[in-house]
A and B are shown apart, each in its own frame.
Chain A
């Protein structure tokens, strides 16, 4: 199928959707918002209500100024300033098993259902036996001290083969990766276990109700190990990082941020 045929198919699929008679549902507009309680009281009433509210708020928030808040509400529009989870995708590496130091790494740029293998690597000993391994790397990306902290690096697929077998004539790497990578999806969806150097506790919660499935926690271990699991994750991590909120403690204060708009490379 070429692009023209694809566009035609998409346009026809759109037209093939039969629109049912969607009558306007009066119930939508009948559920009016409650009117403001001071409506009808007049200016004097509104001023009195405002005064009562102002006084109440002053006393309600006064004690909080002396204690560290335990939770800060996540603001949807909060700027991305702190650490975010970055899922680096899969890395396929080939290393020599002959004891020689020669080793090479070849990156697979993985997207669901598609795999690309970068070219340009040259091996000088085609007869060597090599270990092909695919690693999953998840990093904590953020400003300054959190920059590129590796949370997890796992080898999840390994195969020993000769270079000839791996790179033999006509080897279809895209198909090969496509066959292999579904295994990786499965692994990615079950747990997130990491090691790193976080210096404070980090709590990850699904902010959106739709992401409740992915709620999990990272708690500080001995200062060098962080472990956590995404509970009941049923999708690849790639889609989780899109809107995960973080609450973290630093210098005795609880902070909060949300990665609603991670950089492009955070998605895979």
Chain B
């Protein structure tokens, strides 16, 4: 009987709280709502929160002709934003595709940013393209057809 009480006590203890680690470093650990908090002294944040406003993305951009052939040495600029009256703003990169017609770029973007703007400087019309760098797309692969 004593054996039963001991084991049943352990069982109650185990199921009493969510067995998953708490999503937040909350002191109660059991998901109870915390009082509204507006300063750093009482607020809580996810375990491992990195305090970063930006994240790294790896951009791989291939520039190809209409036949699918890659275009090495094509001048490319990448901007954080685009304004119709100003063109690209916040230049992140300027350079050219490599011998395989691909541009590889590591950069930082705000966590809230979903696209970067790519300008292909090959003298043709419609040089602007967008590439998705949304959250979860930290390795952005795109192809531009010229």
Q: Do A and B bind each other?
A: no
